[in-house]
């Protein structure tokens, strides 16, 4: 969580505003009132935050998240092999100043001349928005590319456009 209440002053404190001297103060969750601890970085993010103390949070608190070391038993949790498959289109969310959703598109496989990629693209249609990305951005050797899309509750339509190299696949798909 990005903010917590200072137990002494009852003021809401943003994690990025905590100074070195105040790191060890007592903080509580602004939703459930359970004790939380200041962390200089959270998980894989370099940004500071607050985390519920083990065994003190109520599971129904909207700001409570189980720690990374705990196995989640939710039936909706994707398997790592399906989520991280480099040859598949992936839906990603980036948590920066504002939430950004994007599609992770895999690189084109095989021995392809760059000249053959100049006139092709991948078009993604979301409700009310149509974005595209050039095949040059999907050239072999880059790993993957990002295409920012709006959040949507319906599937995105992904389609090849223009001229594609003969050796590459032009499968239509959904993300």
In whole angstroms, what is the distance from residue 125 CA to residue 170 CA? 16
Which pTM does this prediction carry?
0.47
Nearest C-alpha neighbor of 38 from the set 4, 70, 63:
4
Per-residue pLDDT of 40-89, as tens digits, reads 876 666 778 888 887 777 777 777 765 544 444 444 444 455 455 667 78
Q: Which residues of the chain have pLDDT under 70?
A: 21, 42-45, 65-86, 167-175
In whole angstroms, what is the distance from residue 148 CA to residue 54 CA? 37
Contact 18, 34 (CB under 8 A): no
Domains in the chain with CATH codes: 3-52 (no CATH), 80-174 (2.60.40)
Q: How many residues does the chain have?
A: 175
133: which 2 tokens? 């990305």
């Amino acid at each position: 969580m990005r903010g917590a209440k200072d137990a002494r002053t009852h003021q809401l404190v943003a994690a990025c505003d905590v100074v070195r001297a105040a790191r060890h103060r007592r903080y509580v969750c602004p939703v459930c009132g359970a004790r939380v601890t200041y962390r200089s970085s959270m998980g894989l993010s370099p940004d500071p935050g607050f985390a519920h103390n083990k065994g003190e949070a109520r599971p129904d608190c909207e700001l409570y998240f189980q720690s990374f070391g705990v196995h989640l038993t939710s039936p909706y949790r994707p398997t790592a092999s399906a989520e991280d498959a480099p040859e598949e289109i992936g839906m990603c969310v980036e948590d920066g100043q504002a939430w950004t959703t994007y599609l992770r598109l895999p690189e084109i496989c095989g021995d392809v001349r760059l000249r053959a990629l100049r006139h092709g693209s991948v078009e993604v249609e979301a409700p009310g928005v149509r974005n595209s990305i050039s095949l040059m951005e999907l050239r072999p050797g880059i790993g993957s590319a990002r295409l920012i899309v709006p959040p949507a509750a319906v599937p995105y339509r992904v389609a090849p456009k223009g001229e594609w190299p003969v050796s590459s696949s032009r499968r239509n798909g959904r993300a």
